[in-house]
Chains A and B, each alone.
Chain A
Amino acid sequence: MKKISTVALYSFLALALAFGLVALPARAADHLDAPLVKTDGRLDINDVYAFQSPSNAANTVLIMTVNPVSGVLSPTTFHPSASYDFKVDTNGDAREDMTYKVTFSAPNGSGAQAVTLRCVPASRCGGGGAVLASGWTDTNIAVRGGGTLRADLFDDPFFFDLLAFRDGLAFCPGGVGTNFFAGLNVTAIVLELPSSMLGGNIGVWARTELNSQQIDRMARPAINTVFIPADKKDAFNFGIPRHDQRDFRGNVVGTLLALGNDQATADFLADILLPDILTVNTASSAPFLNGRALANDVIDAELSIISGGAIPGDCVATDSAFTTTFPYLAPPN
């Protein structure tokens, strides 16, 4: 070790401090400055879409987005131990008649993951349980029986003035809103299937499952966010649609009353909002509440409905460059 003179060392330290090369230390060795704990974005469903394919009217497109603010607050990958499920109810009893399950391998060295699509139960899926599609993330994968699957990073299709919402529903300040989600990314699973595989009038919801436990579920936008109180949000996410009326009707009615609805209207709306299922006539290209297409301004529709027209919207429209061909979502920012 070469000998450094004292003054030289101090000069070094001085220069280093001056140029930011040496920071004043923040770490105490006697405890753990462990990383912050967050909800696992990979299992957090942001939005669910179900709409007639704009490129083939005989097909239906199902999309779930996960990983909010992907690449910033959440990973850009899918959880390798989780199952990402689209639940489909074909007879209006709020129970799934079939489930399209998408699973992933651990990411390889470049971040790509193997993707597998299955359908259960066998009795409803035709060769069910079998693998309907397999391939890699970031690629279009052909589905057996017709259709295409893609799991990838995209521009977040959601648009909403989240800050105004958080600011006591103070929408449209000065007649303008700000889309909080502009410029943000999500990861999404896009599944296009022949509508004949699904049915005519169907109900759809998505869920994530880890170790046989449901982590999140969602159908219509913002039901849990808006109507369910903090202490029951987990219960809602762990719940199933056919128990929604029993378990959460009181909360939904309560919120609707608080928004200024009378009892009869609140009761009426609660029975539309619950169970939380996205109902779709696969033969129709009509917008939300018939399913949900990417550009549908669901927030304006919901705000207007639940406020009895008092809040017409949030003055925000989509700024995403959706396409009319698969996978329909805009490329990531």
Chain B
Amino acid sequence: MSQRRAILLIVISVLMIVGSYVPNASRTVSSPASSEPSINIDASSPGFGMKGTDELIVFWKERFERDPRDFISLTHLAESHIRKGRETGDVSEYQKAEAILRNSLKINASYEPTLAYLSAALFVQHDFSGALELANRVYNADPRALQALATIGDAQLELGHYAEAEVAYEKLGEKSPSAPVYTRLARLVWLHGKPTEALNWMQQAVEDSDEMGLSGENSAWYHFQLGELYFNTGQLEQADTQYAAALKAFDNYYLALAGLGKVRAAEGKYDQAIEYYQRAVNIVPQPDFLAALGDLYMMTGQPGQAEIQYETVEYIGTLAALNEQIYNRQLANFYSDHNMKVEEALELALAELESRKDIYGYDAAAWAHYKNENYEEAQAFMEQALALGTRDANLYYHAGMIALALDDKAQARTYLDEALAINPHFSILFADEARETLRTLQNAAVK
């Protein structure tokens, strides 16, 4: 273990122990400097009187404290913590929500929203099978349980049961034509290789969320997702607009900051990109953003800085059991992308594929096999990853490199062409490499 790693490990361990004794001190209570901006933003953005998440938490907590029978307020308190978790990227909010919901079930074991939110809390902690089982139980008892139906669809999707997910989402679309549902439909059609339809659904989601007067992160999230779709279809300018809108709706929104970083990197403005990513990871040390920041440092000739980011990715990914559960796949991809610990990458990817056979699971396994020079296996997994026809440039890049390794140059050219046609800026690390490889292949073909 390097000295650096030792320091980081000790620092984080100490903090986690401190955090476990005074959970409120470390996360719920933040300094005035960090909480004020978000309150101001809630007041100034077009929220039309909707409470912000911190206000919601106080609101439901006070109601529960007034009446300890009040499992309804307890349930909504937990719901607010789930929302807070998404907003802040803080995994402890999800754990808090789960604990509150389990307490609420002690007061009333059959209140449908409690069970539905519990299944959602399991889902966000990546217990997809547990979430599915509970959501099914709730939905079968009450076909009006919309969130349970949503979690059924969400969990089926992550487990790679696409037909079942589609059934759930279609029912949801009939029962609740609204922004959260449009978003899910966008994701579904995106996976099925229909980017234009996905963009249409996502635009509708943004429109609906605006009409509802959502504010803060609730509004910003939709803009960010639309930005992602624009970016993934190579439409930088539109992506930029949406990420900026997200940042405007929710000050210091780490997802929006990273989005803007991604756009600047694609434009070749590396210094600005680094700045945005640095701001994002200062708020939440999100592994994929740390990796991107590391990549940018590498590209700008700062390997020392890059290494710090890369090491932090590893530590975040393995910090706690729950982090492992959430980040296994990302860590596998990170190792593969950076030619680090490729055997471990393969192990992680294959282990996750045991419980979750979605296309990105196959992709992670294929990419790890490729890095381990198991090209036949890589190709077999890659076929599964492309089975839905998802128009994702990363998938096509991986497929292209695997085909090349198997000496199928024509196929490699097709795939790499496809990757760059879908999104010429698909990766800080690999977009240029794809172009380079393609040029070499074309030159070879001419000769």
Which residues of chain A have a CB within 8 Å of any CB of chain B? 1, 3-4, 6-7, 9-10, 12-14, 16-40, 42, 70-73, 75-77, 79-80, 106-107, 109-111, 153, 162-163, 166-167, 178, 180, 210, 230-231, 233-234
Quick one: closest A residue to B12, CB to CB? A17
Bound state CA distance, A30 and B184, in angstroms? 14
B contact residues around A79 at 8 Å (CB): 211
Pairs A-B, 3 closest by C-beta atoms: A23-B90, A111-B48, A26-B91
Would A36 and B82 be within 8 Å (CB), given that A6-B4, A20-B34 are in contact? yes
Kindly provide the distance from the CB of A332 to the nearest chain B CB, expressed in whole angstroms.
8
Kindly provide the distance from the CB of B306 to the nearest chain A CB, expressed in whole angstroms.
12
Would A111 and B46 be within 8 Å (CB), given that A21-B31, A163-B70 are in contact? yes
Mask, B241-285, CB within 8 Å of A = 1, is 000000000000001000000000000000100110000001111
Q: List 11 additional A-B contacts (Cβ < 8 Å) besides A3-B305, A38-B176.
A: A1-B271, A1-B302, A19-B31, A25-B285, A26-B326, A27-B89, A28-B330, A107-B46, A111-B46, A111-B48, A111-B213
Bound state CA distance, A240 and B45, in angstroms? 40
B contact residues around A6 at 8 Å (CB): 4, 7, 304, 308
7 contacts between A and B (CB under 8 A): A20-B27, A25-B90, A26-B326, A35-B83, A77-B213, A166-B108, A234-B143
Contact between B90 and A7 (Cβ–Cβ < 8 Å)?
no
Bound state CA distance, A77 and B181, in angstroms? 20
Is there a chain A Cβ closer than 8 Å to B199's Cβ?
Answer: no
* A32, A39, A109: the one within 8 Å of B183 (CB): A32
Kindly provide the distance from the CB of A169 to the nearest chain B CB, expressed in whole angstroms.
13
Contact between A18 and B15 (Cβ–Cβ < 8 Å)?
yes
* B108, B150, B286: the one within 8 Å of A36 (CB): B150
Contact between B124 and A32 (Cβ–Cβ < 8 Å)?
no
A contact residues around B124 at 8 Å (CB): 26, 33
Bound state CA distance, A33 and B25, in angstroms? 26
A contact residues around B192 at 8 Å (CB): none
Mask, B201-218, CB within 8 Å of A = 1, is 000000000011110001
B contact residues around A180 at 8 Å (CB): 70, 72
Would A13 and B11 be within 8 Å (CB), given that A20-B28, A25-B285, A37-B146 are in contact? yes
Mask, B2-32, CB within 8 Å of A = 1, is 0010011001101100110000011111110
Bound state CA distance, A37 and B286, in angstroms? 26
A contact residues around B129 at 8 Å (CB): none
Contact between A26 and B76 (Cβ–Cβ < 8 Å)?
no
Kindly provide the distance from the CB of B207 to the nearest chain A CB, expressed in whole angstroms.
9
Contact between A26 and B51 (Cβ–Cβ < 8 Å)?
no
Would A34 and B56 be within 8 Å (CB), given that A20-B28, A26-B91 are in contact? no
Residue of A71, A180, A234 with highest tally of chain B CB at under 10 A: A71
Contact between B213 and A1 (Cβ–Cβ < 8 Å)?
no
A contact residues around B4 at 8 Å (CB): 6, 10
* A24, A38, A72: the one within 8 Å of B92 (CB): A24
Bound state CA distance, A10 and B12, in angstroms? 9
Bound state CA distance, A36 and B176, in angstroms? 12
Contact between B51 and A71 (Cβ–Cβ < 8 Å)?
yes
Contact between B300 and A1 (Cβ–Cβ < 8 Å)?
yes
Kindly provide the distance from the CB of A26 to the nearest chain B CB, expressed in whole angstroms.
4
Kindly provide the distance from the CB of A306 to the nearest chain B CB, expressed in whole angstroms.
22
Bound state CA distance, A17 and B49, in angstroms? 32
